[in-house]
């Protein structure tokens, strides 16, 4: 099959696909208005969170993003909720997945046209395409068939980009309980292998290609490789259910790193972002002999799981996303609260007990998802802890500063 035709084949209309906001049935519809450093902001007339700052950080032109949002908002097509702009039914104009994927296809075509005469530019265009496809598939709810197709396009575009950009991307299969699990290993051009490596434990709402800026701007210049493994229920790990044993897959991967020739398995740090910090910190306790340290960014390890008031401050789309990861087709706030309590690492008897390896945590000012107490709990649970605080404005500058501090701490532990 010609590569140029893949997007048309994947999105060929065959039936009326369910609209994203209807996939999780909620008895209660209480929504919250928030602005979050990493998730973006809620707007009263949008189901999804609008995350312009992080989109820009990934490489999406803000003007182009505004144009896509404007097309969605202006669509006259049927919506499942006329009060929410991004609920257009079917793969057509105004549908969130359609409009973002359409923009991705524009950059994909440009990349294909330039592949021979300007491969470096072609690589950057493939990367742009992967970012648009990733946004199209957000929030990656289970059973969202159109979103799953956008994820396939994001994955393929990212692999194509790696053929032209100054790093090597290897797709590695690990044997885990229940089948084979694919991880993406990013290998820097700096230094000679095997490389010290960050095992990235990402959030619940991101694909592996979303972390490219983290690798290329902060880890690769230090000669550090990055291995991305999706959380259970997401991406390449979608066949596994998310349970309170959140580190189940990453733990099995960690135990096989000595079989990967490009990785120095004796120099590994686990980096957890948002919900992924739950995984990384668990690894710090359960697999301390295999890690040099644990780093966290905006960690979710305790408060959000046990504090119902905090849960009610999160937007509906985030609660839907968690319910989807837990394979709950319908839910209430009370039921979700009951389910989440056991995910707290403090409730599990881990956090608060002394961890034998160093831990560092970066906390964002006024962060609903991860209050300062989360990071303090992490760094106080080890004899070698470091706390990094990140001001909320200006976000991009402060985010870059926080990531530079975090990556430098990682580098020190890997040396």
Among 300, 267, 258, 265, smallest CA distance to 281 is for: 300
Interior angle at CA 53, CA 49 and CA 58, nearest 5: 105
Alpha-helical regions (H) of 225-343: 248-254, 276-286, 303-306, 308-312, 316-325, 333-340
Contacts of 157 (CB under 8 A, 6+ apart): 104, 108, 111, 126, 127, 129, 130, 133, 209
Cis before 45? omega within 30: no
Q: How far apart are CA 281 and CA 270, in angstroms?
A: 8
Predicted local distance difference test score (pLDDT) of residue 6: 55
- One-character DSSP codes across 330-345: EE-HHHHHHHHGGG-T
Average confidence (pLDDT) per 10 residues, the chain, 415 residues: 49 69 84 84 94 95 98 97 96 97 98 93 97 98 95 97 92 96 94 93 94 97 97 93 96 98 98 98 98 98 96 93 91 92 97 97 96 98 97 92 98 96
Predicted local distance difference test score (pLDDT) of residue 15: 45
Predicted local distance difference test score (pLDDT) of residue 4: 47
Burial class (CB in 10 A: 0-12, 13-18, 19+), 335: middle
Instruction: Indicate the SS3 state at residue 388.
Output: strand
Q: How far apart are CA 38 and CA 153, in angstroms?
A: 24
Predicted local distance difference test score (pLDDT) of residue 190: 78
Q: How far apart are CA 50 and CA 85, in angstroms?
A: 12
Domains of the chain in start order, with CATH, are: 1-165 (3.40.50.1820), 167-302+344-415 (3.40.50.1820)
Contact between 226 and 186 (Cβ < 8 Å)? yes
Predicted local distance difference test score (pLDDT) of residue 29: 65
Give the number of residues written for the chain: 415
Contact between 202 and 231 (Cβ < 8 Å)? yes
Predicted local distance difference test score (pLDDT) of residue 7: 54
State whether the Cα torsion 113-115-121-126 is positive or negative: positive
Predicted local distance difference test score (pLDDT) of residue 1: 38
Among 42, 101, 54, smallest CA distance to 319 is for: 42
Interior angle at CA 265, CA 260 and CA 271, nearest 5: 105
Question: Three-state SS string across 354-377, please?
Answer: CECCCEEEEEECCCCCCCHHHHHH
- Cross-strand partners of 296: 272, 361
């Amino acid at each position: 099959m010609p590569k140029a035709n893949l997007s048309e084949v994947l999105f060929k209309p065959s039936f009326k696909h369910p609209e994203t906001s209807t996939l999780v049935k909620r008895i209660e519809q209480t929504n919250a208005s928030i602005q979050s450093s990493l998730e973006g902001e809620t707007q009263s007339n949008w189901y999804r969170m609008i995350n312009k700052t992080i989109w820009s950080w990934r490489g999406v032109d803000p003007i182009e993003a505004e144009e896509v949002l404007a097309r969605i908002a202006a669509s006259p097509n049927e919506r499942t909720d006329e009060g929410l702009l991004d609920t257009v039914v079917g793969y057509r104009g105004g549908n969130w997945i359609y409009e973002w994927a359409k923009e991705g296809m524009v950059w994909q075509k440009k990349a294909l046209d330039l592949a021979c005469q300007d491969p470096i530019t072609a690589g950057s265009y493939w990367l742009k395409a992967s970012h648009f496809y990733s946004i199209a598939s957000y929030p990656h709810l289970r059973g969202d068939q159109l979103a799953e197709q956008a994820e396939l396009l994001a994955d393929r575009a990212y692999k194509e980009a790696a053929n032209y950009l100054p790093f090597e991307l290897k797709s590695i299969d690990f044997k885990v309980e229940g089948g084979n699990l694919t991880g993406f290993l990013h290998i820097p051009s700096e230094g000679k292998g095997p490389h010290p490596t960050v095992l990235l434990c990402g959030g619940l709402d991101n694909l592996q290609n979303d972390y490219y800026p983290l690798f290329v701007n902060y880890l690769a210049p230090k000669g550090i490789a990055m291995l991305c493994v999706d959380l259970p229920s997401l991406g390449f790990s979608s066949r596994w259910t998310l349970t309170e044993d959140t580190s189940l897959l990453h733990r099995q991967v960690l135990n096989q790193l000595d079989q990967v020739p490009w990785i120095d398995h004796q120099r590994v740090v686990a980096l957890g972002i948002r919900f992924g910090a739950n995984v990384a910190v668990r690894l710090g306790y359960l697999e301390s002999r295999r890690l040099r340290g644990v780093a966290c960014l905006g960690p979710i390890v305790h408060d959000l799981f046990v504090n119902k008031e905090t849960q009610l401050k999160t937007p509906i789309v985030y609660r839907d996303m968690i319910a989807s990861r837990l394979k709950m087709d319908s839910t209430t706030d009370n039921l979700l609260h009951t389910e989440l309590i056991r995910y707290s690492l403090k409730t599990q008897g881990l956090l608060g007990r002394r961890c034998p390896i160093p831990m560092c945590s970066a906390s964002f000012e006024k962060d609903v998802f991860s209050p300062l107490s989360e990071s303090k709990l992490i760094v106080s649970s080890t004899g070698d802890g470091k706390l990094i605080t990140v001001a909320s404005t200006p976000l991009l500058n402060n985010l870059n500063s926080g990531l530079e501090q975090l990556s430098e701490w990682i580098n020190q532990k890997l040396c």
